[in-house]
Amino acid sequence: MPITADTLRRRCAEEMGAAARGFGDASWLRDAFLAVPRDHFAPTRVWWPSPREDGLYSLIDRDERPNAWLKAVYSPGVALITQMDDGLVSPDGAAKGALTSSLSSSGVIIELLRHLAPVPGSRPPARRPASREAARTPDRARRRHLRPSAPA
């Protein structure tokens, strides 16, 4: 049987359903996970998060290794590296650098959503004005955020 995104998504959901930190009793979350194809939102090229013996991170390219890429995207406990050294390392092959961005693992996303427990019709909180945020920060940061604006 060929490997498909749908098959891997179902397998990932089964693994997360059996995990203590998985879907729990939130069947809506499992349904949402199965309905939204994660692979549609993953970059074409990602690095595997564990370095090889030579210290380089292996690049997984969807166009060159589609099955390996799909398996990586649907690995519930794996955050895939999407950027190194703030984008200075080009995703052209195995590489080494500071890991500066990743695609969160499915398991982490599910756990966060389960704890958030959104209800139909709920909306994220509105952004607070900078002055309110600054009131919650240390003095040095507050001074930087509350500089008076130039006269008009």
Per residue in 14-29, pLDDT (tens digit) is 999 998 888 988 899 9
User: Which amino acid, residue 72?
Assistant: A
Residue 123: predicted pLDDT: 79
Of the chain, the percentage scoring pLDDT greater than 90 comes to: 66
Beta-strand relationship, 59-61 and 45-47:
antiparallel
State how far the Cα of 60 lies from the Cα of 21, in Å rounded to an integer: 27
Q: Is 46's pLDDT higher than 90?
A: yes
Model confidence band, residue 133 (pLDDT cutoffs 50, 70, 90) = low
Max Cα-Cα span within the chain: 69
Model confidence band, residue 141 (pLDDT cutoffs 50, 70, 90) = very low
